[in-house]
Structure 1
Amino acid sequence: MKWSFIIQQKLKAALILSLIMLVIILGTMVSKNNIKGIDQSFSSIYKDRLLPATTIIYLTENLYNKRLSLEKYLLSETPVTKRDIQGDLSGYDQNIDSLIKSFEGTYLVEQEAKSLVALKNRIQEYVLLEKMIINLCQAGHLSDGKSLFEGAGANTFQRTILNLNELTAIQSHVGQELITESKGNMASVHNIMAFQISIAVVVGLIILTLIKNSQIISKPKVKKMKEQNFNLN
Protein backbone atom coordinates (compact mmCIF):
# COMPACT_ATOMS: atom_id res chain seq x y z
CA MET A 1 0.00 0.00 0.00
CA LYS A 2 2.80 2.35 0.90
CA TRP A 3 4.56 1.73 -2.39
CA SER A 4 1.34 2.29 -4.32
CA PHE A 5 0.82 5.52 -2.40
CA ILE A 6 4.35 6.64 -3.23
CA ILE A 7 3.83 5.80 -6.90
CA GLN A 8 0.55 7.72 -6.94
CA GLN A 9 2.24 10.71 -5.36
CA LYS A 10 5.05 10.59 -7.89
CA LEU A 11 2.59 10.34 -10.77
CA LYS A 12 0.64 13.31 -9.43
CA ALA A 13 3.83 15.27 -9.00
CA ALA A 14 4.99 14.38 -12.51
CA LEU A 15 1.64 15.43 -13.97
CA ILE A 16 1.61 18.70 -12.05
CA LEU A 17 5.20 19.48 -12.99
CA SER A 18 4.47 18.67 -16.64
CA LEU A 19 1.52 21.04 -16.63
CA ILE A 20 3.62 23.71 -14.96
CA MET A 21 6.37 23.26 -17.54
CA LEU A 22 3.79 23.56 -20.32
CA VAL A 23 2.43 26.77 -18.80
CA ILE A 24 5.94 28.19 -18.46
CA ILE A 25 6.76 27.33 -22.08
CA LEU A 26 3.54 28.93 -23.31
CA GLY A 27 4.20 31.99 -21.16
CA THR A 28 7.72 32.26 -22.57
CA MET A 29 6.39 32.06 -26.13
CA VAL A 30 3.81 34.76 -25.43
CA SER A 31 6.46 36.96 -23.81
CA LYS A 32 8.75 36.47 -26.79
CA ASN A 33 5.94 37.46 -29.14
CA ASN A 34 5.13 40.54 -27.05
CA ILE A 35 8.77 41.59 -26.96
CA LYS A 36 8.90 41.19 -30.73
CA GLY A 37 5.80 43.38 -30.99
CA ILE A 38 7.44 46.02 -28.80
CA ASP A 39 10.54 45.99 -31.00
CA GLN A 40 8.42 46.32 -34.14
CA SER A 41 6.42 49.16 -32.61
CA PHE A 42 9.53 51.15 -31.73
CA SER A 43 11.04 50.46 -35.15
CA SER A 44 7.82 51.63 -36.78
CA ILE A 45 7.77 54.77 -34.65
CA TYR A 46 11.22 55.65 -35.99
CA LYS A 47 10.94 54.46 -39.59
CA ASP A 48 7.27 55.13 -40.32
CA ARG A 49 6.52 58.08 -38.02
CA LEU A 50 9.61 60.03 -36.99
CA LEU A 51 11.35 60.03 -40.38
CA PRO A 52 8.16 60.91 -42.32
CA ALA A 53 7.49 63.71 -39.84
CA THR A 54 10.94 65.08 -40.69
CA THR A 55 10.10 64.66 -44.38
CA ILE A 56 6.98 66.78 -43.91
CA ILE A 57 9.13 69.55 -42.45
CA TYR A 58 11.41 69.49 -45.51
CA LEU A 59 8.40 69.42 -47.83
CA THR A 60 6.98 72.49 -46.14
CA GLU A 61 10.32 74.24 -46.38
CA ASN A 62 10.66 73.55 -50.12
CA LEU A 63 7.09 74.64 -50.84
CA TYR A 64 7.59 77.94 -49.02
CA ASN A 65 10.92 78.49 -50.76
CA LYS A 66 9.22 77.93 -54.11
CA ARG A 67 6.58 80.50 -53.36
CA LEU A 68 9.14 83.00 -52.10
CA SER A 69 11.22 82.53 -55.24
CA LEU A 70 8.22 83.16 -57.47
CA GLU A 71 7.22 86.16 -55.38
CA LYS A 72 10.71 87.65 -55.70
CA TYR A 73 10.49 87.07 -59.44
CA LEU A 74 7.21 89.00 -59.60
CA LEU A 75 8.42 91.86 -57.41
CA SER A 76 11.95 92.10 -58.74
CA GLU A 77 12.86 95.45 -60.26
CA THR A 78 15.67 93.89 -62.26
CA PRO A 79 14.68 91.57 -65.10
CA VAL A 80 14.86 87.86 -64.32
CA THR A 81 14.91 85.48 -67.25
CA LYS A 82 12.36 82.74 -67.62
CA ARG A 83 15.18 80.22 -67.65
CA ASP A 84 16.51 81.41 -64.29
CA ILE A 85 13.20 81.29 -62.44
CA GLN A 86 12.28 77.97 -64.01
CA GLY A 87 15.66 76.59 -62.95
CA ASP A 88 15.07 77.67 -59.36
CA LEU A 89 11.57 76.21 -59.26
CA SER A 90 12.70 73.01 -60.97
CA GLY A 91 15.32 72.46 -58.26
CA TYR A 92 12.66 72.70 -55.57
CA ASP A 93 10.35 70.41 -57.56
CA GLN A 94 13.05 67.75 -57.70
CA ASN A 95 13.54 67.99 -53.95
CA ILE A 96 9.80 67.70 -53.38
CA ASP A 97 9.49 64.66 -55.68
CA SER A 98 12.36 62.95 -53.87
CA LEU A 99 10.81 63.66 -50.47
CA ILE A 100 7.40 62.36 -51.55
CA LYS A 101 8.95 59.14 -52.87
CA SER A 102 10.71 58.74 -49.55
CA PHE A 103 7.40 59.26 -47.76
CA GLU A 104 5.66 56.72 -49.99
CA GLY A 105 8.30 54.15 -49.05
CA THR A 106 7.08 54.08 -45.45
CA TYR A 107 4.07 52.25 -44.01
CA LEU A 108 0.94 54.32 -44.66
CA VAL A 109 -2.44 53.87 -43.03
CA GLU A 110 -5.49 54.27 -45.28
CA GLN A 111 -6.23 57.88 -44.34
CA GLU A 112 -2.57 58.74 -44.67
CA ALA A 113 -2.41 57.33 -48.19
CA LYS A 114 -5.49 59.33 -49.22
CA SER A 115 -4.06 62.51 -47.77
CA LEU A 116 -0.78 61.94 -49.59
CA VAL A 117 -2.60 61.53 -52.91
CA ALA A 118 -4.44 64.79 -52.26
CA LEU A 119 -1.13 66.49 -51.46
CA LYS A 120 0.42 65.32 -54.72
CA ASN A 121 -2.58 66.63 -56.64
CA ARG A 122 -2.32 70.03 -54.93
CA ILE A 123 1.39 70.22 -55.72
CA GLN A 124 0.75 69.43 -59.39
CA GLU A 125 -1.94 72.11 -59.52
CA TYR A 126 0.44 74.63 -58.02
CA VAL A 127 3.17 73.74 -60.53
CA LEU A 128 0.72 74.41 -63.39
CA LEU A 129 -0.23 77.75 -61.85
CA GLU A 130 3.44 78.68 -61.55
CA LYS A 131 3.93 78.01 -65.25
CA MET A 132 0.89 80.10 -66.11
CA ILE A 133 2.15 82.97 -63.94
CA ILE A 134 5.60 82.90 -65.53
CA ASN A 135 4.13 82.77 -69.05
CA LEU A 136 1.89 85.76 -68.30
CA CYS A 137 4.84 87.76 -67.00
CA GLN A 138 7.01 86.85 -69.96
CA ALA A 139 4.19 87.92 -72.28
CA GLY A 140 4.12 91.34 -70.62
CA HIS A 141 1.03 90.75 -68.46
CA LEU A 142 2.74 91.27 -65.12
CA SER A 143 -0.38 92.49 -63.31
CA ASP A 144 -2.33 89.42 -64.45
CA GLY A 145 0.52 87.21 -63.27
CA LYS A 146 0.49 88.88 -59.86
CA SER A 147 -3.29 88.53 -59.61
CA LEU A 148 -3.06 84.83 -60.39
CA PHE A 149 -0.25 84.47 -57.85
CA GLU A 150 -2.23 86.21 -55.11
CA GLY A 151 -5.55 84.60 -56.00
CA ALA A 152 -5.68 81.01 -57.26
CA GLY A 153 -1.99 80.53 -56.46
CA ALA A 154 -2.44 81.52 -52.83
CA ASN A 155 -5.54 79.33 -52.44
CA THR A 156 -3.83 76.28 -53.91
CA PHE A 157 -0.77 76.90 -51.78
CA GLN A 158 -2.88 77.11 -48.62
CA ARG A 159 -4.67 73.87 -49.47
CA THR A 160 -1.29 72.23 -50.00
CA ILE A 161 -0.17 73.34 -46.55
CA LEU A 162 -3.45 72.06 -45.09
CA ASN A 163 -2.72 68.65 -46.63
CA LEU A 164 0.69 68.67 -44.96
CA ASN A 165 -0.91 69.60 -41.63
CA GLU A 166 -3.36 66.74 -42.05
CA LEU A 167 -0.49 64.32 -42.65
CA THR A 168 1.24 65.64 -39.53
CA ALA A 169 -1.91 65.06 -37.46
CA ILE A 170 -2.21 61.50 -38.77
CA GLN A 171 1.45 60.86 -37.96
CA SER A 172 0.89 62.02 -34.40
CA HIS A 173 -2.26 59.92 -33.97
CA VAL A 174 -0.75 56.70 -35.35
CA GLY A 175 2.42 57.25 -33.34
CA GLN A 176 0.35 57.55 -30.17
CA GLU A 177 -1.43 54.30 -31.03
CA LEU A 178 1.92 52.55 -31.43
CA ILE A 179 3.08 53.85 -28.06
CA THR A 180 -0.15 52.62 -26.43
CA GLU A 181 0.30 49.23 -28.07
CA SER A 182 3.89 49.02 -26.82
CA LYS A 183 2.78 49.86 -23.29
CA GLY A 184 0.16 47.10 -23.47
CA ASN A 185 2.74 44.58 -24.65
CA MET A 186 5.14 45.64 -21.91
CA ALA A 187 2.44 45.26 -19.26
CA SER A 188 1.66 41.79 -20.62
CA VAL A 189 5.33 40.81 -20.40
CA HIS A 190 5.49 42.00 -16.79
CA ASN A 191 2.35 40.04 -15.90
CA ILE A 192 3.70 36.87 -17.48
CA MET A 193 7.01 37.26 -15.67
CA ALA A 194 5.18 37.68 -12.36
CA PHE A 195 3.11 34.60 -13.15
CA GLN A 196 6.21 32.57 -13.97
CA ILE A 197 7.79 33.61 -10.67
CA SER A 198 4.63 32.46 -8.90
CA ILE A 199 4.83 29.15 -10.74
CA ALA A 200 8.44 28.75 -9.64
CA VAL A 201 7.36 29.28 -6.03
CA VAL A 202 4.60 26.69 -6.45
CA VAL A 203 7.10 24.20 -7.88
CA GLY A 204 9.35 24.78 -4.89
CA LEU A 205 6.47 24.16 -2.49
CA ILE A 206 5.50 20.98 -4.33
CA ILE A 207 9.06 19.68 -4.11
CA LEU A 208 9.20 20.46 -0.40
CA THR A 209 5.87 18.68 0.12
CA LEU A 210 7.11 15.60 -1.73
CA ILE A 211 10.26 15.52 0.35
CA LYS A 212 8.24 15.83 3.54
CA ASN A 213 5.84 13.06 2.50
CA SER A 214 8.71 10.74 1.65
CA GLN A 215 10.21 11.35 5.08
CA ILE A 216 6.88 10.61 6.79
CA ILE A 217 6.57 7.33 4.89
CA SER A 218 10.14 6.25 5.56
CA LYS A 219 9.99 6.89 9.33
CA PRO A 220 7.45 4.14 10.12
CA LYS A 221 9.51 1.75 8.04
CA VAL A 222 12.61 2.51 10.06
CA LYS A 223 10.66 2.19 13.31
CA LYS A 224 9.31 -1.19 12.25
CA MET A 225 12.79 -2.47 11.48
CA LYS A 226 13.95 -1.43 14.94
CA GLU A 227 11.06 -3.29 16.55
CA GLN A 228 11.90 -6.42 14.58
CA ASN A 229 15.51 -6.24 15.72
CA PHE A 230 14.37 -5.80 19.33
CA ASN A 231 12.14 -8.90 19.15
CA LEU A 232 15.00 -10.97 17.75
CA ASN A 233 17.11 -10.01 20.69
Structure 2
Amino acid sequence: MKFYNKIKWVLGITMIFVLVITTNLIDRNNFVRVKDSVVNIYEDRLVAKNLIYKISKAIHKKELAILKNDTTFYQVDNRGINQNIKSNIESFEQTKLTLEEADIFKDLKSDLEQLKGVEKKYINQKFKNNSKILNLLSNINSKLDDLANIQLNEGSRQMSISKKAIENVELFTQLEIYFLIGLAILIQIIIIYRPGNSKK
Protein backbone atom coordinates (compact mmCIF):
# COMPACT_ATOMS: atom_id res chain seq x y z
CA MET A 1 0.00 0.00 0.00
CA LYS A 2 2.88 2.36 0.71
CA PHE A 3 4.20 1.86 -2.83
CA TYR A 4 0.72 2.63 -4.22
CA ASN A 5 0.60 5.87 -2.17
CA LYS A 6 4.04 6.87 -3.44
CA ILE A 7 2.88 6.41 -7.04
CA LYS A 8 -0.17 8.59 -6.34
CA TRP A 9 2.01 11.35 -4.89
CA VAL A 10 4.53 11.13 -7.73
CA LEU A 11 1.72 11.31 -10.32
CA GLY A 12 0.12 14.27 -8.53
CA ILE A 13 3.39 16.22 -8.29
CA THR A 14 4.31 15.34 -11.89
CA MET A 15 0.95 16.64 -13.14
CA ILE A 16 1.48 19.94 -11.30
CA PHE A 17 5.05 20.21 -12.60
CA VAL A 18 3.98 19.56 -16.21
CA LEU A 19 1.15 22.11 -15.88
CA VAL A 20 3.45 24.80 -14.49
CA ILE A 21 6.12 24.20 -17.17
CA THR A 22 3.55 24.17 -20.01
CA THR A 23 1.80 27.37 -18.94
CA ASN A 24 5.15 29.02 -18.28
CA LEU A 25 6.32 28.24 -21.84
CA ILE A 26 3.03 29.49 -23.33
CA ASP A 27 3.14 32.69 -21.24
CA ARG A 28 6.79 33.23 -22.14
CA ASN A 29 6.00 32.90 -25.85
CA ASN A 30 3.15 35.42 -25.56
CA PHE A 31 5.29 37.89 -23.59
CA VAL A 32 8.04 37.62 -26.23
CA ARG A 33 5.43 38.45 -28.89
CA VAL A 34 4.27 41.49 -26.88
CA LYS A 35 7.87 42.65 -26.34
CA ASP A 36 8.78 42.23 -30.03
CA SER A 37 5.64 44.06 -31.04
CA VAL A 38 6.33 47.01 -28.71
CA VAL A 39 9.97 47.20 -29.88
CA ASN A 40 8.79 47.10 -33.49
CA ILE A 41 6.25 49.88 -32.89
CA TYR A 42 8.98 52.11 -31.44
CA GLU A 43 12.05 51.28 -33.51
CA ASP A 44 10.50 50.51 -36.88
CA ARG A 45 7.38 52.67 -36.83
CA LEU A 46 7.70 55.72 -34.59
CA VAL A 47 11.36 56.30 -35.43
CA ALA A 48 10.60 55.75 -39.14
CA LYS A 49 7.64 58.16 -38.96
CA ASN A 50 9.92 60.79 -37.40
CA LEU A 51 12.51 60.31 -40.17
CA ILE A 52 9.79 60.67 -42.84
CA TYR A 53 8.64 63.87 -41.13
CA LYS A 54 12.20 65.29 -41.19
CA ILE A 55 12.63 64.43 -44.88
CA SER A 56 9.19 65.97 -45.65
CA LYS A 57 10.20 69.17 -43.87
CA ALA A 58 13.40 69.37 -45.93
CA ILE A 59 11.49 68.80 -49.19
CA HIS A 60 8.99 71.47 -48.16
CA LYS A 61 11.85 73.97 -47.71
CA LYS A 62 13.04 73.19 -51.24
CA GLU A 63 9.52 73.74 -52.60
CA LEU A 64 9.19 77.08 -50.81
CA ALA A 65 12.56 78.23 -52.14
CA ILE A 66 11.49 77.42 -55.70
CA LEU A 67 8.06 79.03 -55.37
CA LYS A 68 9.59 82.17 -53.82
CA ASN A 69 12.37 82.12 -56.42
CA ASP A 70 14.85 82.21 -53.51
CA THR A 71 18.19 81.86 -55.30
CA THR A 72 20.22 82.31 -52.09
CA PHE A 73 18.67 79.09 -50.73
CA TYR A 74 20.58 77.09 -53.34
CA GLN A 75 23.80 78.93 -52.60
CA VAL A 76 23.58 78.74 -48.78
CA ASP A 77 21.13 76.14 -47.43
CA ASN A 78 20.61 73.46 -50.06
CA ARG A 79 23.86 71.55 -49.45
CA GLY A 80 23.12 71.19 -45.71
CA ILE A 81 19.52 70.14 -46.40
CA ASN A 82 20.71 67.50 -48.88
CA GLN A 83 23.11 66.19 -46.24
CA ASN A 84 20.26 65.99 -43.69
CA ILE A 85 18.07 64.13 -46.18
CA LYS A 86 20.91 61.69 -46.90
CA SER A 87 21.47 61.10 -43.18
CA ASN A 88 17.74 60.48 -42.57
CA ILE A 89 17.54 58.13 -45.56
CA GLU A 90 20.47 56.10 -44.18
CA SER A 91 18.76 55.90 -40.78
CA PHE A 92 15.49 54.84 -42.43
CA GLU A 93 17.34 52.01 -44.20
CA GLN A 94 18.22 50.56 -40.76
CA THR A 95 14.54 50.09 -39.85
CA LYS A 96 12.65 46.89 -40.62
CA LEU A 97 10.79 47.41 -43.90
CA THR A 98 7.76 45.56 -45.23
CA LEU A 99 7.87 44.45 -48.90
CA GLU A 100 5.55 47.29 -49.99
CA GLU A 101 7.54 49.77 -47.91
CA ALA A 102 10.84 48.57 -49.44
CA ASP A 103 9.48 49.11 -52.97
CA ILE A 104 8.26 52.65 -52.22
CA PHE A 105 11.50 53.45 -50.39
CA LYS A 106 13.55 52.25 -53.35
CA ASP A 107 11.56 54.57 -55.66
CA LEU A 108 11.97 57.44 -53.17
CA LYS A 109 15.75 57.02 -53.13
CA SER A 110 15.78 56.98 -56.93
CA ASP A 111 13.70 60.19 -57.04
CA LEU A 112 15.98 61.89 -54.48
CA GLU A 113 19.02 60.92 -56.54
CA GLN A 114 17.32 62.29 -59.66
CA LEU A 115 16.50 65.49 -57.74
CA LYS A 116 20.20 66.28 -57.33
CA GLY A 117 20.70 66.31 -61.11
CA VAL A 118 17.52 68.31 -61.73
CA GLU A 119 18.57 70.87 -59.11
CA LYS A 120 22.00 71.29 -60.75
CA LYS A 121 20.31 71.82 -64.10
CA TYR A 122 17.89 74.30 -62.50
CA ILE A 123 20.81 76.29 -61.01
CA ASN A 124 22.78 76.20 -64.31
CA GLN A 125 19.70 77.53 -66.15
CA LYS A 126 19.68 80.55 -63.80
CA PHE A 127 16.58 79.31 -61.88
CA LYS A 128 14.26 79.27 -64.89
CA ASN A 129 11.71 76.61 -65.84
CA ASN A 130 10.91 75.15 -62.42
CA SER A 131 8.09 72.83 -63.61
CA LYS A 132 10.29 69.69 -63.80
CA ILE A 133 11.73 70.17 -60.32
CA LEU A 134 8.27 70.91 -58.84
CA ASN A 135 6.83 67.75 -60.44
CA LEU A 136 9.67 65.68 -59.01
CA LEU A 137 9.20 67.21 -55.55
CA SER A 138 5.47 66.40 -55.81
CA ASN A 139 6.33 62.74 -56.60
CA ILE A 140 8.70 62.65 -53.63
CA ASN A 141 5.99 64.07 -51.35
CA SER A 142 3.54 61.44 -52.59
CA LYS A 143 6.00 58.63 -51.76
CA LEU A 144 6.68 60.14 -48.33
CA ASP A 145 2.90 60.19 -47.69
CA ASP A 146 2.68 56.52 -48.72
CA LEU A 147 5.52 55.63 -46.34
CA ALA A 148 3.87 57.60 -43.51
CA ASN A 149 0.60 55.70 -44.06
CA ILE A 150 2.45 52.39 -43.94
CA GLN A 151 3.92 53.34 -40.55
CA LEU A 152 0.41 53.95 -39.24
CA ASN A 153 -0.96 50.68 -40.67
CA GLU A 154 1.99 48.61 -39.47
CA GLY A 155 1.85 50.22 -36.02
CA SER A 156 -1.84 49.31 -35.84
CA ARG A 157 -1.06 45.72 -36.94
CA GLN A 158 1.65 45.39 -34.28
CA MET A 159 -0.77 46.71 -31.64
CA SER A 160 -3.26 44.07 -32.74
CA ILE A 161 -0.59 41.35 -32.32
CA SER A 162 0.18 42.67 -28.81
CA LYS A 163 -3.50 42.74 -27.89
CA LYS A 164 -4.01 39.17 -29.10
CA ALA A 165 -0.94 37.95 -27.19
CA ILE A 166 -2.17 39.65 -23.99
CA GLU A 167 -5.64 38.09 -24.47
CA ASN A 168 -3.94 34.67 -24.84
CA VAL A 169 -2.02 35.22 -21.59
CA GLU A 170 -5.27 36.12 -19.79
CA LEU A 171 -7.06 33.08 -21.25
CA PHE A 172 -4.30 30.66 -20.27
CA THR A 173 -4.11 32.23 -16.80
CA GLN A 174 -7.85 31.55 -16.33
CA LEU A 175 -7.50 27.98 -17.65
CA GLU A 176 -4.50 27.45 -15.38
CA ILE A 177 -6.51 28.55 -12.32
CA TYR A 178 -9.42 26.21 -13.20
CA PHE A 179 -7.02 23.36 -13.89
CA LEU A 180 -5.18 23.90 -10.59
CA ILE A 181 -8.50 23.90 -8.70
CA GLY A 182 -9.51 20.67 -10.45
CA LEU A 183 -6.08 19.17 -9.77
CA ALA A 184 -6.24 20.15 -6.09
CA ILE A 185 -9.66 18.45 -5.77
CA LEU A 186 -8.35 15.35 -7.56
CA ILE A 187 -5.28 15.15 -5.30
CA GLN A 188 -7.50 15.49 -2.21
CA ILE A 189 -9.69 12.62 -3.46
CA ILE A 190 -6.60 10.47 -4.14
CA ILE A 191 -5.19 11.20 -0.65
CA ILE A 192 -8.48 10.70 1.22
CA TYR A 193 -9.66 7.64 -0.74
CA ARG A 194 -8.12 4.47 0.69
CA PRO A 195 -9.37 1.32 -1.04
CA GLY A 196 -9.60 -1.87 1.01
CA ASN A 197 -9.75 -0.13 4.43
CA SER A 198 -13.50 -0.65 4.78
CA LYS A 199 -13.15 -4.47 5.12
CA LYS A 200 -11.18 -5.69 8.08
- TM more than 0.5: yes
More displaced stretch, 119-128 vs 52-61: 119-128
Q: Which residue is equivalent to 1:231?
A: none
CA shift for structure 1 position 135: 0.6
Could you tell me which of 24, 27, 32 is aligned with 1:31?
27
Structure 1: any 5+ residue segments left out of the alignment?
225-233
Is the aligned partner of 1:191 residue 2:180? no
Task: Please give the per-residue CA displacement for 1:181-222, whole angstroms capped at 9, x wherever unaligned.
Answer: 1111111111111111112102210232133214x865x58x
Is the aligned partner of 1:64 residue 2:60? yes
CA shift for structure 1 position 24: 2.5
Q: Distance in 1 between matches of 2:183 and 2:196?
A: 21
Letter in 1 for 2:11: L
How many residue pairs align between the two structures?
200
Q: Percent identity?
A: 26
Letter in 2 for 1:46: Y
CA shift for structure 1 position 7: 4.8
Task: Please give the per-residue CA displacement for 1:122-156, whole angstroms capped at 9, x wherever unaligned.
Answer: 1122222111111111xxxx5xx1x2x1x211211
CA shift for structure 1 position 162: 0.6
Q: Which residue is equivalent to 2:104?
A: 115
Q: Distance in 2 between matches of 1:153 and 1:12?
A: 83
Q: Distance in 2 between matches of 1:85 and 1:24?
A: 67
Q: Please identify which structure carries the higher helix content.
A: 1
Letter in 1 for 2:64: L
Q: Which residue is equivalent to 1:52?
A: 48
Structure with larger RCO (C-alpha < 8 A, sep 6+) = 2
Alpha-carbon distance change, 207 to 10 in structure 1, aligned in 2, over 3 angstroms:
same
CA shift for structure 1 position 36: 1.3
Is the aligned partner of 1:171 residue 2:151? yes
Is the aligned partner of 1:14 residue 2:3? no
Structure 2: any 5+ residue segments left out of the alignment?
none
Give the TM-score of the pair, scaled to structure 1.
0.77
CA shift for structure 1 position 98: 0.7
Is the aligned partner of 1:90 residue 2:79? yes
Q: Distance in 1 between matches of 2:90 and 2:178?
A: 52
Q: What RMSD, in angstroms, separates the aligned Cα atoms of the two structures?
A: 2.2
Is the aligned partner of 1:102 residue 2:91? yes
Runs of 4+ residues over 2 Å off in structure 1: 6-17, 69-72, 84-87
